[in-house]
Amino acid sequence: MSRLHIRPRGTHGKVHNITPQSAGWGYVGFDLYRLNPGETVNDVTGAREVILVLVEGRADVQAAGQDWGELGDRLDVFEKTPPHCLYVPNDSEWRATATTPLTLAVCSAPGQGGHKARRIGPDGIALTDRGQGANLRHINNIAMENEDYADSLLVTEVFTPSGNWSSYPPHRHDEDDFPRMTYLEESYYHRLNPPQGYGIQRVFTEDGSLDETMAVKNHDVVLVPKGHHPCGVPYGYEMYYLNVMAGPLRKWRFANHPDHDWIYQRDTAQA
């Protein structure tokens, strides 16, 4: 299997543990916990900042010396309601105790101590459309650059309808050349509905030095160290993914693949 394609380690407990060291890059980390009611997880952030995303379920959360109470409302991710999230700065502790079955994502990147702990969502997060036709998808922006929520992290959710494509036209953000482009590593945590479904993700560079196509299943993660990274879902299934991005500059600037940019230009002109 591709080194970019990470299967979950079982169905309970810490099923993903992706670090910059294991991924072979410098910024993005991603952990995923699947817990039963009453189970607790805790960690320290060290030199990294964290955004806890309650993908599904509820939990009592303490972080950065504060009790944040019970967070979470969405019991099934495909309800598409805004998520409850919590930003935890570097040099802090956090703890979450599940009060329902819980899927908890821990998104991390280097922190510089520039932000205090804070709740993110559900207020202020609204499901918005992007794209047209078979390129239509629905976005919950959790912590993108328009909100000064973090030092490094960019986090968003995407729902792709049955038979549609996403992260499309193919685009890349793998050069540190702002304002033309920013270097951002990226992870995709995938979910499928119904859960026995699958999706397709391709990660490829224009020179062909990287070209991998993966069939992703429920709870899989795909790493995008460079290159273009479109994904799609067959008819009969819908796809969710949680994106985590980080790099030397907390801005999202990308370039479409030159062969396929005409799709973006046409759709922009028609919008």
> Per-residue pLDDT tens for 25-34?
999 999 999 9
pLDDT reading at 271 higher than 80: no
Rounded distance between C-alpha atoms, residue 227 and residue 30, angstroms: 20
3-class DSSP assignment, residue 147? coil
pLDDT score at 268? 82
CB atoms near residue 2 (< 10 Å) = 12
The Cα–Cα gap between 6 and 30 comes to: 11
- Mean pLDDT, the chain, integer: 97
Q: pLDDT confidence of 3, banded at 50, 70, 90? A: very high
Bond from prior residue into 83 cis (ω within 30 degrees of 0): no
Q: What is the mean pLDDT of residues 224-244?
A: 98
Least Cα distance to 105 among 239, 202, 15 occurs for: 15
Q: What pTM, to 2 d.p., does this model score?
A: 0.97
The mean-pLDDT minimum among 99-108, 190-199, 256-265 falls in 256-265
Residue-wise pLDDT for 14-63, tens only, equals 999 999 999 999 999 999 999 999 999 999 999 999 999 999 999 999 99
Tokens standing for residue 204? 């490829």
Percent of the chain scoring above 70 in pLDDT? 99
pLDDT over 90 at 267, yes or no: no
Contact call for residues 9 and 15 (beta carbons, < 8 A): yes
Tens of pLDDT, residue by residue over 240-263, are: 999 999 999 999 999 999 999 999
What is the CATH code for 5-260? 2.60.120.10
pLDDT tops 90 at residue 219: yes
Tell me the average pLDDT across 141-166. Answer: 97
Residues 6+ apart with CB under 8 A from 207: none
Query: What pLDDT band is residue 1 in, cutting at 50, 70 and 90?
Result: low
DSSP bridge pairs for 87? 51, 118
User: In whole angstroms, what is the distance from residue 101 CA to residue 11 CA?
Assistant: 12
